[in-house]
Amino acid sequence: MEIDSDILVVGAGHAGCEAALAAARMGCRVVVLTSSLNQVARMPCNPSIGGPAKAHLVKEVDALGGIMGQAIDETHVHIRMLNTSKGPAVQALRAQADRPRYSERVQLEVVSHPNIQIVQDMILQLQLQQGEIVGAVGTTGCLYRAGATVLTTGTFLGGLIHMGETSFAGGRSGEPPAQALSESLRACGLELGRLKTGTTPRLHRDSINWAAMEEQKPTDTPLVFSERSPLSLPPRQLSCYLTRTTAATKEAILANLHRSPMYIGVIEGTGPRYCPSIEDKMVRFADKDSHQIFVEPEGFDVPEVYLQGVSTSLPLDVQWQIVHSIPGLEKAVILRPGYAVEYDFVHPTQLQHTLEVTSLRRLFLAGQINGTSGYEEAAAQGLLAGINAALRASASSLLELGREQAYLGVLVDDLVTRGTSEPYRMHTSRAEYRLLLRQDNADERLTEVGYRLGCVSTAQFTAFTEKELLSQAEYERLQSTRLKPAEAEQATARFGTPVRPGCSLYELLKRPHIGLDQIRLFEGLEPLGQRIQERVEIRVKYDGYMKRQEDEVARFRRMEERELPEGMDYKGLVSLSLEAREKLQRHRPRTLGQASRIPGVSPSDIATLLVSLKQGRLCKSR
């Protein structure tokens, strides 16, 4: 049996769903393969979306027509803005999802799209023909032919689950791993590595003493991820709670390290640096008396509660000791134990910036298969891979996003240029131009790009255009409106700060304690909508800083666009350091900018390359 399509998407997690929907919106016929039709867009770890840098990725997915932002807006049980005491570059939304409802919402979007067909099957082998991937063979024996293939396998490649002394094959608890696909990728010449992630014990909410913990209430201000969502407060939200580990927690963990698969050498893969297991925390931060634990609901009608900060692979009896040693959880009932999962990933330096495999044309990879962690990182990669798979299938030029254009551009460039030896997590500190890559202006940066490619609807683009016109009109009005002497006197009295005659409203708004709503009220004008007001206010208050960053971007682009000759013999450039020669020969950067971001290539090495470029001394290998 054969099934033909334009795009084959393997996996139906966050990356797979965004990839399939992006390609489908662009008019492609898409087949999605999943090991279980009941596990589409599942949230096996923390049921939350957003946070620093991750919210920026969600906003970018939304700006390019993706579903993640709308889905969490419609199904969250708790939402807050983080880092409100800091500037707009690092402020970030974070929401707790109603876990089953979130998955149902995304699944509905996928199954109802007329261009998408979901099939329950797993891949045995990729079909390679003259250096191109033309499809794959499933366990059912079906041949899936496609113009391009996107692999979004999550933790299923060679998946192995660990809990104490017990280990068994699995991509997630209760789901089989994809063993044959790992071997097929190796047979195609790809280099694979091994990583590890984990999850926490889930508790029954009725067994928790909520009064013994610190309550974290949700927002009382309308907040949404998607520009397509109505800006209104949900009718109902739940609180999250904060507690801490104790000396008894530490004692229980350290006394049982000999039973941890991490510490007895059973687990080979490297775990996430920024989300370590509870046993790893106790060893790495031995001087700390306690660690914060966030107790988070998983839904309105879901009995399970998630313990953020208690990821573990210790045996079940030790997990009971750990949980009962934490204030508020002394009588808590574990519904599902935590576990670690070890899995294969493809070293991402083997990819192009389009997420296409360099040596295997028409094959794209997205999500944890590239060495990343997190739903948001996966969704963003999936969307880019889906767009480029559709472009490849139609013989069009592929999309690359720069570091100055999107957090997604930073993420991909980091992976492709530097690679990773541990699960990669997005942080605002990774972006050099984060003042230009704020979560509030993702649509300004990307929606027109998506509309040109066909993955953003006319309705979304029209709404974006109207918002931009209104924002620009208000910005120009503030610049051109100057206060007369009597008005300046009134403004001085109203705002409690000296205002000279001739002062523009633009200059007045730049003052830290004055907002646009106050100025419009002073003028007797109706307030603007929250989204437009936010856009104008940030632009005015940070104009000078943003212009400086734009100048930096212009300088960066000049270096970034200096192409290095294809097939260069870096080993022969004796003026470079030995480490630089080895790294450049291995990574083979396309531009001077990419070369500058390879670990081990120093600024002096880049200066040497630049001089050699100008003098025409760079040559190809023979």
DSSP string, 423-455: -B---GGG-TTTTTS-GGGHHHHHHHHHHHHT-
- List the one residue out of 406, 16, 451, 80 whose CA is nearest residue 234: 80
- List the one residue out of 95, 94, 110, 93 whose CA is nearest residue 41: 110
Mean pLDDT of 219-234: 93
Q: Write down the pLDDT at residue 37.
A: 86
Q: Map tokens 């990307």 to a residue.
A: 446
Q: Residue 142 pLDDT more than 60?
A: yes
pLDDT in tens, 527-575: 998 999 999 999 999 999 999 988 888 877 777 778 888 877 888 788 8
pLDDT in tens, 313-371: 999 999 999 999 999 999 999 999 999 999 999 999 999 999 999 999 999 999 999 99
Q: Are 541 and 510 in contact (CB under 8 A)?
A: yes
d(CA 104, CA 236): 19
Q: β-strands 192-198, 340-346: how paired? A: antiparallel
d(CA 485, CA 263): 74
DSSP structure class, residue 526: P
Q: Residue 469 pLDDT more than 60?
A: yes
Q: What phi and psi, each to the nearest 5 degrees, are found at residue 538? A: -65, -40
pLDDT in tens, 23-47: 999 999 999 999 988 889 999 889 9
3-state secondary structure of 157: strand
Residues 6+ apart with CB under 8 A from 28: 5, 6, 7, 115, 147, 389, 390, 393, 394
pLDDT band for 599, please (50, 70, 90 cuts): confident
Burial of residue 234 (CB within 10 Å: 0-12, 13-18, 19+) is: middle
Q: Write down the pLDDT at residue 618.
A: 60
Helix, strand and coil content of the chain, in percent to the nearest 5, comes to 40, 20, 40
C-alpha dihedral (3, 5, 7, 9), degrees to nearest 10: -30
Q: Residue 617 pLDDT more than 50?
A: yes
Sequence letter at residue 363: L
DSSP structure class, residue 574: T
Q: Write down the pLDDT at residue 621.
A: 47
Task: Give the DSSP H or E segment for 221.
Answer: none
Mean pLDDT of 125-139: 95
For a pLDDT cut of 70, what percent of the chain falls above it? 99
- List the one residue out of 348, 365, 347 whose CA is nearest residue 356: 365
d(CA 58, CA 15): 12
Angle subtended at Cα 444 by Cα 538 and Cα 549, rounded to the nearest 5 degrees: 60
Residues 6+ apart with CB under 8 A from 252: 318, 321, 322, 325
d(CA 262, CA 238): 35
Mean pLDDT of 234-250: 95
Average pLDDT for the chain: 93
Integer Rg of the chain from CA: 26
**Furthest C-alpha separation in the chain:** 83
Angle subtended at Cα 543 by Cα 538 and Cα 545, rounded to the nearest 5 degrees: 105
Q: What phi and psi, each to the nearest 5 degrees, are found at residue 420? A: -155, 145
CA of 509: how far to CAs of 204, 246, 378, 472, 498, in Å?
50, 49, 39, 15, 13
For a pLDDT cut of 90, what percent of the chain falls above it? 74
Beta bridge partners of 81: 93
Sequence letter at residue 239: S
Listed as own residue / partner, the contacts of 110-114 with beta carbons closer than 8 Å and 24 or more positions apart are 110/12, 110/17, 110/20, 110/21, 110/32, 110/40, 110/41, 111/40, 113/20, 113/21, 113/24
Q: Are 145 and 5 in contact (CB under 8 A)?
A: yes
For residues 327 and 578, the model is more confident at 327
pLDDT in tens, 269-283: 888 887 889 998 998
Mean pLDDT of 281-290: 89
Q: β-strands 143-151, 132-138: how paired? A: antiparallel
Q: Write down the pLDDT at residue 174.
A: 76
* Strand positions, DSSP E, 268-400: 292-297, 304-308, 334-336, 340-346, 363-365
